[in-house]
Amino acid sequence: MSPALLKWYDHNKRDLPWRKSNLFYPVYVSEVMLQQTQVKTVIPFYTKWFIRFPSIESVAVSNIDELLKLWEGLGYYSRCVNFHKSCKILFNKYDSQLPENEADFLKLPGVGNYISSAVYSIVKNLPLTAIDANIKRIMCRVLKIKYLTPYNNKRINNAVEKFIDKDRPGDFNQALMDLGSSICTPIKTDCYICPISSLCKAMKTSSPLQYPFKKPKRIKPLKRLAAAIIFNKDKFFIVKRPLNTMLGGLWELPTIELNTYISPNDQLFKYIKMTYNITVSINRKITTIKHSYSHFDILINLYKCNLQDNNLISSEFASWIKPDDIKRYAFSKSNHKLFNKLNLNAWNI
């Protein structure tokens, strides 16, 4: 596999900004951003990120709010939080260098087998297999594997270990990635221009798209939420999500998941009073948005609330801001959808 694949890669590899060098930091940043995210989505975020944070040290000494604001819109925000923690450790303990021992790198927050193998194969030229969903799909077709059982996953890993180029392991891993993005994709195969088609058992069946078997998509559950926009003169109230939760570190309007059997108004009133020591009256529902995550959908009803009594002590987790301040804080896409509906700058509510 290796000679044909690398010859194809040398002539067809994607021109990606993180491939300008094999230095540790750009490779590491890109691998973190590329987790569960398409290349075309990552490129503009990576470019902006590298201008603002060009080194491990620049990340380590920065505030997490700065990082999350630049990450805003890329999703899976725990990646950013973990990357910040890891950069602090790398800066303080390893002089901002890739640890010599892979086991030490694997101990860092957010670093799993895939990221570690990808980084060490590209940066240190170690023959480590970086197997993700793309490479699993290619190898399922090469080996004619229909079901991704634990046994078959082991077969795939053994095969890639056998095929990997010992002199250019990083290029080998990236070549398989590029092959999976252009020729051997989930929805089409261009077998007649594929550099490894002679090895592919699925091609000989004339129906390579049957491999691997695609599970039927599950119907995602719908969560119903209520959010409050609470005004105090020319400002409105926002809160910061705890770092150890989904969307941790992002700001949002006060939001609660609704209990079907209790009035939304009552639930929202009690939640705001008990959590933030603010007394409000629920004025009216002013808009509704729907947003989709990987495992569930949400429906948010936004309520305009009148401030009755404010005993809140301001902190790093709660703030009153003006509409123009939105650009200074990192919010989730769902909250930006609410802001767009409200047209806060025109007070169109």
Reported as a single tens digit per residue, the pLDDT across 109-154 is 999 999 999 999 999 999 999 999 999 999 999 999 999 999 999 9
pLDDT category at 233 given cuts 50, 70, 90 is confident
Q: Which is the CATH superfamily of the domain at 222-346?
A: Nucleoside Triphosphate Pyrophosphohydrolase (3.90.79.10)
Domain with CATH 1.10.340.30 in the chain: 2-210
pLDDT category at 347 given cuts 50, 70, 90 is low
Is the pLDDT at 260 greater than 90? The verdict is: no
Q: Residues 303, 265: contact at Cβ < 8 Å?
A: yes
Average pLDDT, integer, range 199-205: 94
CATH annotation of 2-210? 1.10.340.30
Domain with CATH 3.90.79.10 in the chain: 222-346
Is the pLDDT at 215 greater than 70? The verdict is: yes
pLDDT, averaged across the chain: 93
Q: Residues 209, 40: contact at Cβ < 8 Å?
A: no
Active-site position among 31, 72, 102, 252:
31
So what's the pLDDT on residue 248? 93
So what's the pLDDT on residue 160? 96
Percent of the chain with pLDDT over 90: 83
Active site residue 252: no
So what's the pLDDT on residue 111? 97
Chain centroid to CA 328: how far?
Answer: 21
pLDDT category at 218 given cuts 50, 70, 90 is confident
> pLDDT tens-digit profile of 40-78?
999 999 999 999 999 999 999 999 999 999 999 999 999
Q: How many CA atoms lie within 13 A of 167 on its CB side?
A: 3
pLDDT category at 217 given cuts 50, 70, 90 is confident
CA distances from 31 to 83, 116, 162 (A): 11, 9, 24
d(CA 1, CA 35): 26
Instruction: Pick the range with the lowest mean pLDDT from 58-62, 197-201, 338-342.
Output: 338-342
d(CA 236, CA 280): 13
pLDDT category at 345 given cuts 50, 70, 90 is low
